[in-house]
Amino acid sequence: MKIWPDQKPYFSANQYYRQIFGNKVYKISLDIGCTCPTRDGTKGVGGCTFCSARGSGDFAIAGPMSIREKIDSAIQMVASKISSNRYIAYLQSFSNTYGPVELLVPVYEEILADERVVGLSIGTRPDCLSDSMVKELAQLSEIKPVWIELGLQTIHQKTANLFHRGYDLPVFENAVTRLNRAGIPIIVHLIVGLMGENYDDFMATIDYIADQPISGVKMSMLHILKDSLLYKEYMENSFPLLDEATYIKWVAEAITRLPQGMVIHRVTGDGNRKNLVAPKWSANKRRVFTGLLRYMKEHGLYQGLNYVEAPSMP
């Protein structure tokens, strides 16, 4: 059984960032006031149905503050967890490349100019990445590391239509191609246990992702949050959600199917407890995490164990 230097059976974000920066760094979440095309009427209103009212950035620092003040406030929230005073700024709320390039790029520059910030991770959608934005991001990455985090969630269009994703898989593939050409590493977000999807559906998404030219993945379960569109759907016609044991089993199997060089940034998630309707077990993030590690150890599982590289084109 393969174990990485940080004693995990997979290539974790902690290990990855230590390799880049030489010590532990911590992500601080910032809200820079963007929205999404599925919220402003361009492709829909209300956003993806599972998304919270704050664009899945419930713990991000928002409000009428300067960038410096937001960074200060975010650091105060996590200062007790880290001693190096080196942080990656994470633009988590909504789609943070959705807007005029000439307005957004100066915000990125201001964040990167902060001496405590060692890198910038930008959460967005693949349909919100113009060629001019990708060019600007490539230039910024020459100053400090820049990552793009793309919300894919699933490869299955039927499911994507159910939660109003608003773009097709070729749009994702086009964005990945252009970001790779620009040398910008990509982190892909996936949701485990989406409505109507079974084990085989999720593993099809994993097997697809395994052969994409991306840097890493984030996995979390489907949350039902009171301030999401999905809440109303769930209350009117509830559908089954994964139990904790099944979630752990699926994620463990998914990790074995991913290549060992792909970074596993997240294996569980925790929605805002005040708004969390289901699954209630997901509120105990630490228990899920330790349960996953225990399951993988007991079954001799590790990243790459079941990865099968796709045959190369002639």
Give the C-alpha distances (Å, rounded to integers) separating 169 from 126, 160, 161, 166, 205. Answer: 10, 9, 12, 10, 11
pLDDT at 228: 94
Question: Are 218 and 188 a contacting pair, CB within 8 Å?
Answer: yes
Average pLDDT over residues 281-308: 96
Q: How far apart are CA 119 and CA 215, in angstroms?
A: 15
- pTM of the model as a whole: 0.96
pLDDT at 54: 85
Q: What is the pLDDT of residues 230-277, one digit of tens each?
A: 999 999 998 999 999 999 999 999 999 999 999 999 999 877 788 899
Q: What is the pLDDT of residues 19-44, one digit of tens each?
A: 999 988 999 999 999 999 999 999 99
Q: Name the residue type at position 169.
A: L
pLDDT at 314: 57
Q: What is the pLDDT of residues 72-96, one digit of tens each?
A: 999 998 887 777 789 999 999 999 9
Q: How far apart are CA 259 and CA 237, in angstroms?
A: 38
Is the pLDDT at 151 greater than 90? The verdict is yes
Structure tokens at 69: 């003040």
pLDDT band at 53 (very low <50, low <70, confident <90, very high): confident
- Crossing angle between the packed helical segments 244-256 and 199-210, to the nearest 10 degrees: 30
Instruction: Delineate the domains of the chain, giving CATH numbers in brackets.
Output: 13-298 (3.20.20.70)
Give the least confident one: 5-9, 162-166, 273-277: 273-277
Is the pLDDT at 103 greater than 60? The verdict is yes
